[in-house]
Structure 1
Amino acid sequence: MAYRGFNLFPESPTLRDLFSKRAIRYHWRDNGPVFTAAIAIICVAVWLVELVLSFVSPAALNAVVGFGAIQPMLAVGRPWTFITSMFLHQPTSILHILFNMLTLWSVGPMLERLMGHWPFLALYMLSGVGGGMGMMLWGALAPNGMGWFTAAYGASGALFGLFAAVLIVYRRVGADITSMMVWMVINFLMPVVVSNVAWQAHLGGFLVGALFTWLLVSGPHALRGKSLAYRSAVYGGAVFVLVVAVILLCNLANPAGWLALLM
């Protein structure tokens, strides 16, 4: 029996494969990490733009971050920030983008191969929006209403949804997730050892990712015979409606009231 050494990036393609049309076509047919790579490329590209702006035009950088980051008090009136905040990272430090992209590269390929491209993308995006939901919940529940004024950005909410999916899928298929556990431990400890980490988004993404994956794996018996794509559409739509409902309910406690919808 051949021995496979420990690998922090199982089933991940090489950097060369990311820019090879032939490799991309192969990965698409074989459920390879096409969307994982696309998300990583977008995040790094956006971070590079932020980095350049931090040197040439700090005012423009502040405008970009202000436009894309999520702040619970304004989020319902600026719904795009539930998406754009997932692709922004701290421009003045390489650690934020580095840890998130290394984590994505460790977890994403295995999940995309097991789930398929579109279910994986649905999981990632729903979990990212779930991270925003976590911020809204903190806004509604935090002492003295301070949670409404906390702005956040980064891919961590979506990544924690992937972590939840890994744990659920692992129990289903018995895959080796040793390397994934390394990144899970690192990310779960980040709020403890690093200040200004939005653990609320981590928790929201984890819960939403867990719910969506659990429905795919162990949902109502009536839908178990349907294709994964069909179940992803049905369950994804249901989870999205639930997340939106939670966000709107939280916004009822927004100190800005309905004026937040007009800002």
Structure 2
Amino acid sequence: MTRVVGRLLLINFLAYFVTRSNLDLFAWFSLVPAQVLTRPWTLITYQFLHDPGGFSHIFFNMIGLFFFGPKLESRLGSPTFLKLYLTAGLVGAVVHILWTVISMSRGGLYMPMVGASAAVYGVLFAYARYWPRDRVLIWFVIPVQVRVLVIAFTVISLWSGLGGVGGGVAHFAHLGGFLGGWLYLRMRAARSPAAQFKKQTEGPGARMGERELTTKWRRIEPTSLHPVNRAEYDRISDKVKALGWAALTERERAFVDRFGGGFG
């Protein structure tokens, strides 16, 4: 059991038993679409509440977190895993609210929503992103690949949500959980060192022609460069003399662009 998954399990079960005997507290932290502007904290707190009238709601959500969470947390790290979990739950809430407004469901605007389903769906999506061919047993009997499970849950949620099947289930919150997981992984990938390096090397410097390269190269004052950059300057200079500008790599062109005034 990993640190964040263990704490999330504990918080969810504690919240379940505390609010089960205190319905006023349950109502205060539940997400009601019509009240979200005056009670914005419920966008987060609803994720830790479950139907006090039965145990199956929290049981299946926590089973999903228990099976898929630890391996994913070990892969991403505890802080990143927690951000993914909360982001998926938050996006799930927003999608649910938007769908309630779009569908003009007046009753839905005042119907409280609770549950960790959207957050767990985000965890499931991220798990399928890294280990798509891992198998899980449906009803502890039928083996299904995780990627197939995500596709099946997406189809079921869309079908049920659009068809109004399964009253009391926030199907679009589930879809929002998948969306939140996808968005978080995309943002994380875009901020990664590899992505930043690729963006830099594929910037304007990578597309410069020989004339522009020559102009920027002449602007560089080698004596003002750091020794490390000076060594790179000398290496590129020797390469250009021997092979010409066309031989420069994208990274070398980015160097010329940067120190020749591309960032100024």
TM-score interval, normalised by the smaller of the two chains: 0.5 to 0.7
Match of 1:161 among 97, 122, 140: 122
| Contact 1:128/1:205, CA 8 A, preserved across alignment | yes
Partner of 1:224: helix, strand, or coil?
helix
Judged with a 3 Å threshold, the aligned counterparts in structure 2 of structure 1 residues 183 and 154 are, in CA distance, closer, same or farther, namely: farther
Q: 2:113 is matched by which residue type in structure 1? A: A
Match of 2:61 among 92, 100, 118: 100
Judged with a 3 Å threshold, the aligned counterparts in structure 2 of structure 1 residues 177 and 214 are, in CA distance, closer, same or farther, namely: farther
Give 1:224's aligned residue: 195
Q: RMSD of the TM alignment (CA)? A: 2.8
| Contact 1:140/1:148, CA 8 A, preserved across alignment | yes
Q: Is 2:159 aligned against 1:198?
A: no
Quote the sequence identity (%): 29
Give 2:236's aligned residue: none
Matches within 5 A, 1:1-263: 13=1, 33-51=2-20, 53=21, 61-143=22-104, 145-170=106-131, 176-178=134-136, 181=146, 194-217=166-189, 219=190, 224=195
Shift of 1:169: 2.2
Q: Compute the TM-score of the two structures, normalised by the length of structure 2.
A: 0.61
Q: 1:205 is matched by which residue type in structure 2? A: G
Shift of 1:149: 2.3
| Contact 1:158/1:205, CA 8 A, preserved across alignment | yes
For 2:90 and 2:172, locate their aligned partners in 1 and report how far apart those are by CA, in whole Å. Answer: 12
Instruction: State the 4+ residue runs in structure 1 displaced beyond 4 angstroms.
Output: 182-194, 220-223
**Structure 2: gaps (5+ residues):** 138-144, 198-264
Q: After superposition, what is the alpha-carbon deviation per residue over 1:197-224, rounded to whole angstroms, capped at 9, x for unaligned?
A: 111211112101111113334x268763
| Contact 1:139/1:146, CA 8 A, preserved across alignment | no
For 1:89 and 1:186, locate their aligned partners in 2 and report how far apart those are by CA, in whole Å. Answer: 24
Question: What number of residue pairs does the alignment pair up?
Answer: 183
| Contact 2:43/2:90, CA 8 A, preserved across alignment | yes
Larger radius of gyration: 2
Judged with a 3 Å threshold, the aligned counterparts in structure 2 of structure 1 residues 225 and 140 are, in CA distance, closer, same or farther, namely: same
Give 1:17's aligned residue: none
Q: 1:85 is matched by which residue type in structure 2? A: Y
Q: 1:176 is matched by which residue type in structure 2? A: D
Q: Compute the TM-score of the two structures, normalised by the length of structure 1.
A: 0.61
